[in-house]
Structure formats: structure tokens, C-alpha cells
Chains A and B, each alone.
Chain A
Amino acid sequence: MSEPEAGDGWVQVRIPPERTDQAKRFVRTVLREPFQSRSWAELGYFLASAVLTCVALVAIVALGGAGIFLSVVFLGVILLACGLRATRGLGAWQRTLASRLLREDVTDPEPFRPRPGFFGWLRSAFGDRAAWRGVAYFLAKVPLTIFGVWFALSVWLEALLGIVSPFTGGHGVGRFGFLGWLADAGSGNGPDTGFGTHVAVFLAGVLLLFVAPWTMRLVVYLDRQLMQLLLGPDAAASRVRTLEASRAKTLDAAAETLQRIERNLHDGTQAQLVALAMRLGQAKDKLDHLDVADDPADLDAIRKLVDDAHRGAKEAITDLRDLARGIHPPALDTGLENALATLAARSPVPTEVTVVIQSRPSPAIEAICYFCAAELLANVAQHAQASRASLTCAQHGHWLRIVVRDDGRGGASVNRVGSSSSGLAGLADRVAAVDGHLTVASPAGGPTIVTVDLPTHA
């Protein structure tokens, strides 16, 4: 069709091409839908889960009712507990149905972990949130199933009955529903159902065939939501699981720290002290065997031993002090300002320090902040080849931002490739443990800016 010229009297209706595409796609979808396996799977799912819901309802009512009735005797309590355990099983079946037929994967709830002993089991069964939520699911499923029968299943039924009605002579169309009404209206014309009515019922059936998948989809959609809400792990439980995981990580980190300290003590101070004791022991031994008229050579040997011991003692003191500072920097006792200033003063690269803090963060955050700054300044000294560095620590509301900047050669990265960057990765882990962030901006050629954000209280 040629483009009509403007001004030749035609009213132009321009439909944008994508709009026509959309319309085509919509029509195609509607026409195809009854013949998609998904629609039939949903119908199958609805029927199967309706049966399961009936079973569950019977179980809940029977066991629950009997349990409550008998709860005056102990048996009732046991019945109720068994009922709750059974609900979990039914919930698992429901999840299997959903995953097989709907490809809807609902995560299994947290497993049942009974306490030891029979009464422990009983208490756990009653306290099992997943089981109670399963009960809630099946109870909510009852009205949804009734709604589904009325709103979706009936449409499928009527569609099929309508389509087959020409072959059954209108039998089975029934007295109810839309088709029943149509047949009734038709039979008003004469004693027998007229041809027009047959055609109308058939066409209505065909029409309903294209509607049925969509009403069913809505019902199934509601069911999917219900399943995700009540049959999956509940929010509180998954929060608990997250916290458990992070607690485990923290404990591991603490154990690792203790091991590192032990190793340092064992290899450093302890060995030094043993060597020291050994030398003094030797000196004492020599003194014990020293004759009054001895030659000066032995005295010299003793003096040398004592000298060595003296030097060893001083080394041990230095090592021990460094180690203690690594465990808890004493400068932190008076606050971050002092500690960071001390840290910067010890750094071999001239470092400017700015600290702006309104209220003291929690001790854990102060410690992390301090060790981050220490590690970052050590990195500057070791790797950056910088001539100047700056360290700022500023509080913004509930956050503490530490920025370490140097004018070195850049190229630092958090990735665990190369030995020089492993320190940054370790820091990032440590910071993440308290929900903080670490970012590195370090183009080749510098400058390097490492920013650490920490919550003031964790």
C-alpha cells in the first residue's frame, strides 16, 4: 500500500509499527495458549493439588479435632504433634508438585531438628514454625481451591463441553453455568434445541477455550504466591541462618587470630626466653665450676654469655611489645585521634592525619579502623614508593570513613592475584564482616586512594 499523500482528503491513522507488532503478538499468544503444554500442566497441577488439599484438610481436621478432643488425655497431645509432623510431609509433596508441573521451585524450609528425648521431640514438634506455616498454607488453600473451581476449572469444563456438544447432541451441557443458560435460552424457541443454539453453544465453547488458560493462570499465580509465602523458609529463620553463618565466620576469624598470636609467641618470645634461660644456665654452670685461681678465658666466656643473654632479653621485650600492640594497640584506649596520630608518626612515609569524630565508635569498630589504617599505611611504605601520604578519618552520621591517599606508583588491587594485594583482600573481608565497604582507586602511575566505610557501631 502506498503512503497516502497529506491533503488528499484521507484521514490518516498512523499506527506505529511496534504497536501493530504488539497487537500481532498478543493475538498469537491468545490463539496459541490453549495448545501450550504449560496451560495443561497448570490444569493438571490444579487438579492434583486440589486432591492434596482435600487430603491435608481431612488430616488437619481429623488429627487436629481428635487431638484437641483427646487433649485431656496425653494421647491427644501426641496426635496433634503427629499431625504437625505430617503437615511438613504434605508441604513437601506440594512443593514437589509445584516444581514438577509448574517449574515453580520453592526452597525447602529449615529442616526439623528435634531436641533429644521424647519430650524434646514433642516440644520441637509444637514449636516447628515450618509445620504451622504448612497448616496455614493448606487452610488458605481451601478457599483458593473453591475459588479456582468456580473461576477457572468451570471455564475449562464448559469450554470442553461446548466444543463436544455438537457431537453429543447437546447432552451434558447441563443446567448450570454460562452454557446452561445459553441452552436454556435456545430451548425457549421450541420444544427441541434449535440448530442456532447448537452453533451458539459450540462457538461459546471455542471462545471459552481461549479464556480458560488465563483464568487458571491467575488462580495458579495466587497459589504460587501463597506457596512462596508459607511453604518456603520463613524470613525470620533465614535471617537466623544468615546470622549463624556470619557468626561462624567471626568465630573462625577469632580462632585464626588466636592461632597467629600463639604462633608468634611460640616462634618469637618463647624461643627467645628459652635461649635466654639457656645462656644464663650455661653461665651459672660455668660460675659453679669456676676455680678461685682460674684463667681469665673462662671469665670472658661467662661475660659473653651474660652479654648475649642481656641482648636476648632486650629483643624479647621489643618483640613482646610489638606483639601486644598487634593484639590491642594501647594508644586506642584514649581514642582514635591519638591512635591514628601515633600510627602516622611511626610510618616511614611522611603522613598527614586528619581525624574528625563527634562521638566515639564502638571498641570493635575502633579496632578495625585502627588495623585498616595500620595495614594501609604499611602498604604505602612497602609497595607504593610514595613520598607523601594522608590519612583522614571522618564521621558522617552513623558511618565512619577512612581515606588513605598516597602519591606513589599506583596499581594496587583488592583481587587476590599477586602477593602485594593479599593484604587488601584480607582487609576487605574484615571490613565486610561488620557490613562495611572497602574501595580501591589506584590507576597505574598513581595516586592510590583507598576508602573504607564502617558503621560506627556494630
Chain B
Amino acid sequence: MAAADALRVVIAEDSAILRDGLVQLLTDRGFAVVGAVGDAVGLERAVADASPDVAVVDIRMPPTFTDEGLRAAIALRRERPEVGILVFSQYVETRYAADLLAGGAAGIGYLLKDRVADVADFADALVRVASGGTALDPEVVTQLMGASRRTDALAGLSSRERQVLALMAEGRTNSAIATALVISEGAVEKHVANIFSKLDLPATSTDHRRVLAVLRYLEG
């Protein structure tokens, strides 16, 4: 929790009950909630005022209750790329996720609101996004996988490798993937190496390649 001490969070969520709940939960976990607003305009102002590390953004907000949160998030990414963005929604919209990830997956998260019930996971995701990582809901990953336009690039992967890649897309580390799939970390590393070579990714720093693999996988 010591690492979270420094993290400054802005929350944009129109439902008061959820907003208050989030503020309480994050404060409780040691985050510094530096702004809690109910719409996209408020988000813009709060980010300008408080310079947060990460913003939690609801997609559906006033006035039209469609995708103003998403549009605000994309604008925020363009203007202040250093701020991590965790989009937070009741539904997964493939197009929204694709729009959001169009500029890269670093520092981006897209979670279903349900995930907040697992407080520790949610807090981890927020920390990950704030530090430039990725946190995608398994639901998002599944849908993007289904909507993938260039499946041939992924066709060469074995089903196990696909599982590993999906978990990578969710933003998990090798050890977390090993735990989730009940295999050894060494096995995960082997799968990851296979994925890199099959997707023909250049041998630069591993983290960069992970992001590239995820993007390749998501954008298909």
C-alpha cells in the first residue's frame, strides 16, 4: 500500500452512489483522490487543476449518456499522455475499446464496473495503469478477440499460446499468468517467447514487445 500512497486519482462518474463508493474505497486503499466529478467537462477541469497520475472515467455520462466519457478519455490521452486512463463501464463495447487502444495500450485500462468488487484486483489494475501498464477486462479481451479482423496473424498460435496472450492483454505479469493457468513460470516464458517469434516481433526490450504483442493481438 506504500506504493499507492503517491498515486493521485481523479474520478469521473455520474452516479453519485458509485462515485462516493469509489472515493471511499480508493481512499481506504491509500490512494489520494484529488477530484471526483460527474461529467466530461468536470473531468477536463479536474485533470487540469489536480494533475493526477490516473483518471477513472465512466463511459456514459451526461448530457447524452452515450460515450462522452470515452471521448473525454481520448481527448485526455491526446493532450496529456502522461495521465493513465482507466475507463470504467457497465458494458463492453468493442468499438470503444478499439478507439481507446488506437493510440497504443500503454497506460490504458478498460474494466467492467463489476470488477470493483474485487478490491485488490481493482487497485492493482489502477496502479498498473498509472505506471504505464495495461489493464483490460477479460470480457474486453474476449470481444476484441472475436472482432479481430486479421485472425491469420494469430492463427499460427496454439490454443495455450492464445490463452497466454489473452492474459498478457489483460496486463498480467508472467508469474500472474503462471498462477492463472496453473503452469510453471518457466513454461509461461517459453510460451511468451514463442508468441513473440510467431508474431514476428523485433527483439527489443521485453516490455515493449509485450505491448506490441498485445496490440497485434487486439487490433488483429
Complex contact A282–B25 (CB within 8 A): yes
Q: Are B117 and A271 in contact (CB under 8 A)?
A: no
Q: Would you call B120 and A285 a contact (CB within 8 A)? A: yes
Asked if B15 CB lies within 8 Å of chain A CBs, one says yes
A278→B21 contact, CB < 8 A: yes
A270-B21 contact, Cβ under 8 Å, with A277-B116, A277-B117, A281-B116: no
The CA of A398 and the CA of B21, in the complex, are separated in Å by 55
B59 to chain A, nearest CB (A): 11
Residues from chain B with a CB closer than 8 A to the CB of A267 are 15
Task: Choose among B17, B28, B122 the residue that contacts A275 (Cβ–Cβ < 8 A).
Answer: B17
Known: A280-B117, A281-B118, A282-B28. A275 touches B90 (CB 8 A): no
> Is there a chain A Cβ closer than 8 Å to B60's Cβ?
yes
Among A267, A270, A275, the most chain B Cβ lie within 10 Å of the Cβ of A275
Residue pair B90, A278 in contact (C-beta under 8 Å): no
A283 to chain B, nearest CB (A): 9
Please tell me if A279 contacts chain B, counting CB pairs below 8 Å: yes
Chain B stretch 1-18: residues in CB contact (< 8 A) with chain A: 15, 17-18
Q: Are B65 and A275 in contact (CB under 8 A)?
A: no
Q: Does A249 contact B (CB under 8 A)?
A: no
Judge if B119 is at the interface, Cβ distance under 8 Å. Answer: yes
State how many angstroms separate the Cβ of A274 from the closest Cβ of chain B. Answer: 5
Number of A-B contacts (CB under 8 A): 46
Chain B residues with CB under 8 Å of A271's CB are: 15, 17-18
Q: Does A266 contact B (CB under 8 A)?
A: yes
SS of B interface (majority)? helix
Question: Which of B28, B65, B114 is close to A277, meaning CB atoms less than 8 Å apart?
Answer: B114
A278, A282, A284 interface centre (most CB from chain B within 10 Å): A278
Question: Chain B nearest CB: distance from A282 CB in Å?
Answer: 5
A263 and B28 CA atoms in complex are apart in Å by 30
Whether a CB of chain A sits under 8 angstroms from the CB of B22 is yes
A266 to B28, CA, bound (A): 26
A216 to chain B, nearest CB (A): 63
Residues of B within 8 A of A272 (CB): 17
Nearest-Cβ distance from residue A298 to partner chain B, whole angstroms: 11
B: residues with CB less than 8 A from A are 15, 17-18, 21-22, 24-25, 28, 60, 65, 90, 113-114, 116-120, 122
Interchain Cβ contacts under 8 Å between A and B, 26 examples: A263-B65, A266-B60, A267-B15, A270-B113, A271-B15, A274-B18, A274-B21, A274-B90, A274-B113, A274-B114, A274-B117, A275-B18, A277-B114, A277-B116, A278-B21, A278-B22, A278-B25, A278-B117, A281-B117, A281-B118, A281-B122, A282-B28, A282-B119, A284-B119, A285-B119, A312-B17
Q: Give 5 nearest A-B pairs by CB, closest first.
A: A277-B117, A281-B117, A271-B15, A285-B119, A281-B119
